[in-house]
Amino acid sequence: MINENRKTARIAGVYWLAFFIIGPVSYLLIDGKLLVPGDTAATVSNINSGPALFWAGVAAFLAGYACFILLGKTLYGLHKPAGPRLAKLMLGLVIAGTAVVLAGKAAEIAAVNASSMKDAARLLSLRPNMEMAGELFWGLWLVPLAMLIFKSDLIPRAIGGLLLLAVIYHLAVFGVFFASGADVSGHPALAAAGFIGEAAMVLWLIIKGVKT
């Protein structure tokens, strides 16, 4: 059983790492070149002049979140014996958050073929809002995961504690954005907390798998 759990945990770590790698390709390298915040005409022009790059970004986006869903499913299988309800809640939050950001991406795609700049602007404005709404779920799904770590003892409880730092990061980003419109996702202290929490979990899953 230990060997099987170790294998499952390492598979989860690979999915999580893949999500970390693919995400920046979609968000930073591609969206960063095409999307011009506050300038609908420039954004649509960039997308129309570089359709291959745009659709590569869409493909990377979908691949990244496919890895994230597989991550949730794999962690669900690993931790279900310790807490079936918590495991279901964790997986449900993963799916719900993914659905929210996918809706934002769908709005962006629809904006390319919008009948007017006004409609395109309205659709494009949905993308950042849906991304920030997703931050709520990216924080919440880690709570039942941390609780499952505390219950199952498959992974050191210290790792579960570090995950709670990532919870604070995601919820802070969500709360500040919808309270004031400010994007604090790049704030050094907050970003460091989020990175430490999730990176510790990923490294443990890949290197150690589960406790022996």
Query: What would the pLDDT profile of 23-54 be if each residue is shown by its tens digit?
Result: 888 888 888 888 888 788 888 888 888 889 89
Please determine, for residue 212, whether its predicted confidence score (pLDDT) is greater than 70: no
pLDDT, tens only, 137-158 = 999 999 999 999 999 888 999 9
Per residue in 149-208, pLDDT (tens digit) is 999 888 999 999 999 999 999 999 999 999 998 889 888 888 898 899 899 999 999 998
Buried/exposed 128-152: b ≥16 CB within 10 Å, e otherwise: eebbbbbbbbbbbbbbbbbbbbeeb
- Indicate yes or no: pTM above 0.75: yes
Candidates 144, 151, 145, 143; CA nearest to 170 is 143
> Looking up tokens 């510790």, which residue turns up?
200
Distances (CA, A) of 8 to 4, 40, 105, 166, 200: 6, 45, 31, 23, 17
- What integer pLDDT is reported at residue 2 of this predicted model? 65
* Rounded Cα distance, 161 and 155, in Å: 11
